[in-house]
Homo-oligomer: A and B are copies of this chain.
Amino acid sequence: MEPRLLLGSGPSPVPERVLRALAQPTIGHLDPQFVAIMDEVAELLRATFRTDNRVAFPLSATGSGGMQAMVDTLVEPGDRVVCGVHGAFGARMADALGRAGADVVRVEAEWGRAIEPERLIEAWTGGRGRSRAMFVVHGETSTGVVADLTGLAEAVHADDGLLLIDCVTSLAGHPLDLVAAGVDAAFSGTQKCLNCPPGLAPFTVAERATDRLSRRSWYFDLDAILQYWLPGQDRADPGGTTPRAYHHTAPINMVYALREALAIVQEEGLEARWARHATAHEALRAALAELGFERYAPEGEQLHPLLCVRPPEDCEEASVRARLLGEHGIEVSGGLGPLAGRAWRIGVMGEGARPEPQRRLVEGVATLLGRDARDALDALDQGWA
């Protein structure tokens, strides 16, 4: 295969170290050696989510499967759910909730803008006593916008509701404190700021929500998965004497890879990593602005790991993007929904959030547009200085 520099909406660049872990010999899902790895992964995930929730493990599905698991375990048919929609991933959740029979109250905002928390709270309050959950996409991958979670948990919890978030693109790349924000459940993916191949959905549920779990899905039965991942921590056996119970065969090799990817995050430190992503985002934004690319998200609403920009007038976005991939081996993503044909979505994720890959991108784009790259590269250097 031709090599690729993955600077799109994900998957992101996977380090050799993670690929080597992935290719370790497969062992059994109840082998003591694997059990030790599961324990490590759960601990590393807690550190990455910054929580001590018992439910903190990777579901055996991609990030979108994590979304489905959230619907299947935390929402019942007929429940009123306030759902923020300001991009493809909020719309997808509203769709999934509706399919599950929820009464979905959509709170919309223009694609490329954040939703004002007041509007979400208003929608919640309008259904006081009748709402079960509020769902917000913390990092909207389709527009590069981060959600403001301020005040949401207070409103939701006052009414005994649940605050649910999608942090697929923000986890380990954008500041997020689940405990401080009062988040009751969150799902993520492995192929964004964790730099792991896609295939697992890190998932966590706060203690207060664990007695609200539906078991209508066999595969996403979090109680049963807890008995496999963390026996003795399930409700049926708080003392911890029940032996580990097989639920389903874990994706062994993907779990190896995730352990390695999470270890890399901890080696760098979560706050240092967040800071690096902020720097990388601003450096690349400034560099691409020199080439005529304008960010959609206004200052203060930008999601660091995903820079969503409007290409300049003279850039035929689809063909330039195809040539960037074909001739330069660099992947960036196009727009979705109303932004199709009108946006590039550029990943600033983990190993992609470094000067060297960003330099290659800026040079490649300048070449294809027939521009001088010097000012853009200077802006990039200044951003990193």
Interface residue? A33 (CB, 8 A): yes
**A194 → B minimal CB distance (Å):** 12
Please tell me which stretch of A79-87, A131-139, A152-160, A251-259 contacts chain B, meaning at least 4 of its Cβ atoms lie within 8 angstroms of it.
A251-259
* A1: nearest chain-B partner, CB-CB: B33
Interface residue? A324 (CB, 8 A): no
* A37: nearest chain-B partner, CB-CB: B1
User: Given that A19-B25, A218-B92 are contacting pairs, would A251 and B68 also be in contact in the complex, using a CB cutoff of 8 Å?
Assistant: no
Please tell me which stretch of A93-101, A122-130, A267-275, A288-296 contacts chain B, meaning at least 4 of its Cβ atoms lie within 8 angstroms of it.
A93-101
The reply to whether A29 and B11 form a contact with Cβ atoms under 8 Å apart is yes
The reply to whether A11 and B25 form a contact with Cβ atoms under 8 Å apart is no
The CA-CA distance from A62 to B247 in the complex, in Å, is 11
**A148 → B minimal CB distance (Å):** 26
The CA-CA distance from A342 to B215 in the complex, in Å, is 30
Residues of chain B contacted by A27 (CB below 8 angstroms): 1, 4, 6, 11, 331
Residues 241-266 of A, flagged 1 when their CB comes within 8 A of B and 0 if not, give 00000111111111001000000000
Interface residue? A109 (CB, 8 A): no
Residues 209-246 of A, flagged 1 when their CB comes within 8 A of B and 0 if not, give 00000011111100000000000000000000000001
Residues of chain B contacted by A248 (CB below 8 angstroms): 62-65
Residues 60-86 of A, flagged 1 when their CB comes within 8 A of B and 0 if not, give 111111011001000000000000000
The reply to whether A28 and B1 form a contact with Cβ atoms under 8 Å apart is no
The CA-CA distance from A331 to B252 in the complex, in Å, is 15
Interface residue? A311 (CB, 8 A): no
The CA-CA distance from A62 to B215 in the complex, in Å, is 18
The CA-CA distance from A136 to B333 in the complex, in Å, is 43
The reply to whether B217 and A68 form a contact with Cβ atoms under 8 Å apart is yes
**A70 → B minimal CB distance (Å):** 11
* A92: nearest chain-B partner, CB-CB: B218
The reply to whether B11 and A26 form a contact with Cβ atoms under 8 Å apart is yes
* A60: nearest chain-B partner, CB-CB: B62
The CA-CA distance from A33 to B218 in the complex, in Å, is 35
**A199 → B minimal CB distance (Å):** 3
Residues of chain B contacted by A19 (CB below 8 angstroms): 23-26, 253
Residues of chain B contacted by A202 (CB below 8 angstroms): none
The reply to whether A23 and B22 form a contact with Cβ atoms under 8 Å apart is yes
* A59: nearest chain-B partner, CB-CB: B61
Interface residue? A350 (CB, 8 A): no
The reply to whether A189 and B249 form a contact with Cβ atoms under 8 Å apart is yes
Residues of chain B contacted by A61 (CB below 8 angstroms): 60-61, 65, 219
The reply to whether B64 and A218 form a contact with Cβ atoms under 8 Å apart is yes
Instruction: Given contact pairs A11-B249, A20-B23, A26-B191, enumerate 19 new A-B contacts (beta carbons under 8 Å).
Output: A1-B25, A4-B25, A6-B26, A6-B27, A8-B28, A14-B25, A22-B253, A27-B331, A28-B331, A29-B198, A31-B325, A62-B251, A96-B218, A197-B251, A198-B251, A199-B251, A251-B254, A253-B254, A253-B257
Chain A interfacial positions (CB closer than 8 Å to B): 1-4, 6, 8, 10-11, 13-14, 19-20, 22-29, 31-33, 60-65, 67-68, 71, 92, 95-96, 99-100, 189, 191, 197-199, 215-220, 246-254, 257, 325, 331, 333, 336
